[in-house]
Amino acid sequence: MAPSGSPAVPLAVLVLLLWGAPWTHGRRSNVRVITDENWRELLEGDWMIEFYAPWCPACQNLQPEWESFAEWGEDLEVNVAKVDVTEQPGLSGRFIITALPTIYHCKDGEFRRYQGPRTKKDFINFISDKEWKSIEPVSSWFGPGSVLMSSMSALFQLSMWIRACHNYFIEDLGLPVWGSYTVFALATLFSGLLLGLCMIFVADCLCPSKRRRPQPYPYPSKKLLSESAQPLKKVEEEQEADEEDVSEEETERKEGTNKDFPQNAIRQRSLGPSLATDKS
């Protein structure tokens, strides 16, 4: 007959195994988790980063190979990491993740996209044989640390925030879908007006407009008066000259008539007696 205390032994062993399973699993996993807060650690050293989503079947199939590859990370002097795009939308926008899973290799800030087979052996050969040197690195314009990609990350985070607010309005507050859209439309309108006012204020501060003082009535200057008086003087002088010419002509005519008058009188006198004798 078995002792009464024997069933407690396997039960205790089972409890220890269940309690130690997550600890051993966490200890065995060498994959580092990258978030928006610590992503700049990728800019130093040698890294292999996987972008995945929990609902993606291809990502689920890759996980065992990725975990096995991470066990070789210390020997290969490479850091193996992963990013959950559902939890870190900013990083998915920063690296322009359009397909899942996506794997990047990073060496001292230079990012290259891995597009080879997805097995542990291929990952090990990619690092040990330095096959990454044959891949063109991502341009600095599209690097995760550039201004362009930082803006893209902010847009992705904004889109996720808008989606969370939309779900909150519908599920928690009970608003209809059109009511949620109305709220976002009004928020967009007011934010646009506020942004426009801010831009006008900044432009006015940087390039202030010149205030024009009201100009007095333009009185003519002395120079203009003298210039305008010159043609008048010329006209007056011409008129005076014409009057002098006319007066000279009149005086000449008068003198001519005065000279002719005594000659005519003399002629008449001389002709007078002769006409008298002829009549007689």
Highest mean pLDDT among 97-111, 209-223, 236-250: 97-111
Q: What are phi and psi of 178, to 5 degrees?
A: -65, -30
Between the ranges 15-24, 45-54, 263-272, where is the mean pLDDT highest?
Answer: 45-54
Task: Please say if the pLDDT value at position 275 is more than 60.
Answer: no
Assign residue 187 a region (left: φ > 0; alpha: ψ between -120 and 50; beta: otherwise).
alpha
176-201: average pLDDT: 84
Rounded to an integer, the average pLDDT of 235-259 is: 65
Residues 220-240 have a mean pLDDT of: 59
pLDDT at res. 267: 53
Please state, as a whole number, how many other Cβ atoms lie within 10 Å of the Cβ of residue 126: 21
| Beta strand 102-107 pairing with 46-52 | antiparallel
Residues serving a catalytic function are 56, 59
- Beta bridge partners of residue 50, listed in sequence order: 82, 103
Beta bridge partners of 104: 49, 113
Provide the pLDDT for residue 217.
53
Euclidean distance between CA atoms 81 and 73, whole angstroms = 10
